[in-house]
Structure 1
Amino acid sequence: MSQSPETNDTGPPRPRPAVVRWLETAELVTGALLLAVIFTLMLVQATQRHLPVSGWVWTGELARFGLVWLTFSLAGHLVGKDEHVTLKLVDHVVGGRALRAVWILANLVVAAVAVGFVFEAAELVFGGSPQTTPALDIPLSWTYVIPMVGLALAALRALANTLLPAPPVVESVPEERAE
């Protein structure tokens, strides 16, 4: 089992700066609100199928966009808490300064990839595409704003990981003894 990134080997957890704590709270509130919106829209859509009235097509479209927005809005939170998809193989082999170097390198790679995605998303947002969504009729470029912001936050959180916390400590898995 691994400790959270806020802990170190020498003592109690180091407090994160207030800005980081505020950002984590904002990301979680945004994610919870988007999840509630998705749930409500899907419930409305399912209810409409059983009523003798015409349904609102925009509920399904907005729910699908909400799922994408939820994914990207929580990307920064997952990177900051080291809960994103990772390969922890190196954590079992090396320790100390080597583990810290791998931790920093991995976070720099995540930050670089996220920055690349931010530039691509910014091109989609500010490119001025004349397309609109089918049901809601909102400009398609607006739908890329939340992914752009979420990836920018992921890049910032990955960079903050290189400076603020120590890498998580992974306990070695005991091997079974052959008898």
Structure 2
Amino acid sequence: MTKSELIFNRVNKILEWTIIMIFALLVLDVLFQVFSRYVIGESFTWTEEFARFSLIWITILGAAYLNGKKEHLSMDFLYQKFSPYNKRKVAVLIEVLIFLFALIVMVIGGLNLVYTTLHLGQLSGTLRIPLGYIYAIMPFSGVLIMCYSIYHILSIYSNINRK
């Protein structure tokens, strides 16, 4: 196993456990919300906001995780018709487009969003957390996706050299 594969597997494992922990917190939060509403008779507003933020983080981190594992949704009907040579070219093109999307939309746009919300001092309604911290998951996941794209491109070229 190469050093890049070792790093790739370690990052995937950390990301996987992070998503699992956030999901566990989300489940506990929703269970507490239901318990407090129907047993105690009082609804805590912070539970709904925490659930929303947890769902945002799970979704965006999950997108990066699935991109890294190459398990994201794709329609490959046309791709399967290509020759092996053209499949490699298209695979590299797709990874470059994913990289550019992650860079422009998630990293640059996400950093702009984080900076703006922190600069304006926007806080969440109930938990009073600076929204920039909640939105920070966007550029973080964008960087992960960019790293995964580079890894996938390198693995495509290393597979060519092995043959």
TM-score normalised by L of structure 2: 0.87
Residue identity opposite 1:33 in structure 2: M
Count of aligned pairs? 154
Cα separation, partners in 2 of 1:15 and 1:98, compared to 1, 3 Å: farther
Question: What's the counterpart of residue 135 of structure 1?
Answer: 126
Larger RCO (CA under 8 A, 6+ residues apart): 1
Partner of 1:145: 136
Percentage of pairs with the same residue: 23
Query: For the Cα contact (< 8 Å) 2:88–2:156, is it kept in 1?
Result: no
Pick from 21, 46, 61 the counterpart of residue 33 of structure 1.
21
1:158 aligns with 2:149: yes
Matched, 1:19 2:7: yes
Structure 2: segments with no counterpart, 5+ residues: 158-163
Alignment counterpart, residue 111 of structure 2, candidates 115, 122, 128? 122
Q: Which moved more, 1:89-98 or 1:59-68?
A: 89-98
Deviation at 1:159? 1.9
Runs of 4+ in structure 1 over 4 Å off:
13-16
Query: Shift of the alpha carbon at 1:31?
Result: 0.8
Query: Aligned residue for 2:88?
Result: 100
Q: Point out where structure 1 has 5 or more consecutive residues left out of the alignment.
A: 1-12, 167-179
- If each structure's helix is expressed as a fraction of its own residues, which one has the higher value? 2
TM-score scaled by length of structure 1: 0.79
Larger CA Rg, structure 1 vs 2: 1
Cα RMSD after superposing both structures: 1.9
